[in-house]
């Protein structure tokens, strides 16, 4: 894939609208947030051509970083909306962008509004494990060994905690919890309207529709220029819902491992009040009852071994 010089990139980005960057750890509500922005804010509502990929109504940074997406295509996607939406699962250093490609990242931080959506790490682990059975069945592991895999030098629970912690340190990043978006979309949209300086359309229902299956998603791609959902759906013909984390963390040794690796962040975000869930099983889980959409303060470090 051709690489562009820094000067050429800077020139090409002149006139592109101020982007809205949706960052998250995988399986944390990324597409819910992207599609909510597109549904409710006209400035974010890009149109693609019939049959074109769903990720042509937003820009994913990962293929751009690895050279799988031509910069010319990326720029064409960005110009499809007044406030283009950008998706990333990268850590906030964007280390995969090197050399002249760092112009992209400089532009994001200079012009963009950053939204970080997060989710209970135990739900994330359950969803990741479930998706791995659908997308890579030849590599599937049982849940305990799956948790203990190493990626980027961390176990999966620790990587989740690091991801949330590092994004929480970045000034100006607006942090939203996945289930609170689902429960209180009006609160989230009012906050986003003010942050973006955009008028909310208040379409009903407020939340984007769910995709039934991968085939449903492909059909939507064919017939819609503005697909109502861009979600990546496990299950080819029928919905394939991830089990509750309570059904996955059955073994105390798995609960203990998760809490040793990521318990401080779990408590810090308010999903638990202590490590009692490890010893006492499933009955002491904290239930969120109030909107938390306006949490924007940086979170404390999740790298300590303490478990609170």
**Helix 71-78 vs helix 6-13: crossing angle, to nearest 10:** 20
pLDDT at 137: 54
pLDDT band at 308 (very low <50, low <70, confident <90, very high): very low
Rounded-to-integer distance, Cα 111 and Cα 152, Å: 29
CA distance to 6, 131, 181, 218, per residue, from 233 (Å): 37, 9, 19, 10
Q: Which pTM does this prediction carry?
A: 0.88
Average pLDDT over residues 62-77: 97
The mean predicted confidence, pLDDT, of the chain is: 88
Rounded-to-integer distance, Cα 80 and Cα 62, Å: 19
Longest dimension (CA), the chain: 59
Is domain 6-280 in CATH 3.20.20.70, yes or no? no
pLDDT at 182: 97
Average pLDDT over residues 3-15: 96
pLDDT at 300: 35
Three-state DSSP class for residue 275: coil
Q: What backbone phi and psi angles, to 5 degrees, belong to 162?
A: -60, -40
Rounded-to-integer distance, Cα 131 and Cα 271, Å: 23
More confident residue, 232 or 106: 106
pLDDT digits (tens, 9 = 90+) for 161-200: 999 999 999 999 999 999 999 999 999 999 999 999 999 9
Average pLDDT over residues 199-203: 97
Q: 97 and 65 in contact (C-beta within 8 Å)?
A: yes
Average pLDDT over residues 10-15: 97
pLDDT at 284: 40
| Beta-strand pair 174-177/154-155 | unpaired
Domain regions of the chain by residue span: 6-280
Rounded-to-integer distance, Cα 29 and Cα 19, Å: 19
Which H, E and C letters describe 145-199, residue by residue? HHHCCEECCEEHHHHHHHHHHHHHCCCCCEEEEHHHHHHCHHHHHHHHHHHHCCC
pLDDT at 232: 74
Is the peptide bond preceding residue 205 cis, with omega within 30 degrees of 0? yes
Identify which of 14, 274, 261, 244 has the alpha carbon closest to the alpha carbon of residue 158: 261
| Beta-strand pair 150-151/154-155 | antiparallel
What end-to-end distance do the CA atoms of the chain give, in Å?
A: 48
Average pLDDT over residues 249-272: 97
Rounded-to-integer distance, Cα 237 and Cα 134, Å: 12
CA 202 to chain centre: 23
pLDDT at 162: 98
pLDDT at position 298 over 60: no
pLDDT at 108: 98
Rounded-to-integer distance, Cα 141 and Cα 133, Å: 8
b (16+ CB within 10 A) / e for 251-287: eeebbbbbbbbbbbbbbbbebbebbebbeeeeeebee
pLDDT at 219: 80
Rounded-to-integer distance, Cα 7 and Cα 86, Å: 22
Three-state DSSP class for residue 6: helix
DSSP structure string for 206-223: SSPPPP-SHHHHHHHHHH
Identify which of 121, 136, 141 has the alpha carbon closest to the alpha carbon of residue 26: 121
pLDDT digits (tens, 9 = 90+) for 263-294: 999 999 999 999 999 997 544 444 444 444 43
pLDDT at 224: 92
Rounded-to-integer distance, Cα 132 and Cα 153, Å: 20
């Amino acid at each position: 894939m051709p690489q562009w010089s820094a000067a050429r990139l800077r020139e090409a980005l002149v006139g592109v609208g101020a982007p809205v960057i949706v960052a998250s750890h995988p399986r944390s509500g990324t597409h819910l947030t992207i599609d909510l922005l597109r549904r409710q804010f006209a400035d974010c509502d890009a149109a693609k051509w019939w049959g074109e990929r769903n990720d042509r109504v937003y820009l994913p940074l990962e293929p751009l970083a690895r050279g799988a997406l031509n910069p010319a295509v990326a720029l064409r996607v960005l110009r499809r909306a007044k406030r283009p939406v950008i998706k990333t699962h990268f850590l906030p250093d964007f280390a995969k962008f090197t050399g002249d490609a760092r112009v992209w990242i400089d532009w994001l931080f200079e012009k963009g509004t950053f939204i970080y959506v997060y989710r209970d790490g135990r739900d994330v682990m359950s969803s990741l494990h479930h998706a791995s059975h659908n997308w890579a069945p030849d590599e599937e592991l049982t849940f305990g060994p799956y948790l203990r895999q190493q990626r980027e030098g961390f176990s999966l629970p620790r990587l989740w905690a690091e991801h949330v912690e590092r994004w929480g340190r970045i000034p100006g990043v607006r942090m939203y919890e996945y289930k609170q978006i689902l429960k209180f979309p009006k609160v989230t949209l009012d906050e986003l309207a003010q942050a973006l300086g955009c008028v909310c359309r208040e379409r009903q229902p407020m939340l984007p529709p769910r995709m039934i299956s991968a085939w449903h998603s492909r059909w939507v791609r064919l017939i819609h220029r503005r697909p109502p959902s861009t979600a990546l759906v496990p299950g080819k013909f029928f919905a394939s819902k991830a089990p509750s984390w309570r059904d996955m963390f059955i073994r105390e040794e798995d609960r203990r491992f998760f809490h040793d690796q990521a318990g401080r962040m779990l408590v810090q975000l308010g999903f638990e009040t202590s490590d009692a869930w490890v010893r006492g099983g499933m009955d002491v889980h904290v239930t969120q009852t109030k909107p938390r959409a306006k949490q924007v303060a940086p979170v404390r470090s999740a790298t300590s071994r303490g478990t609170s």
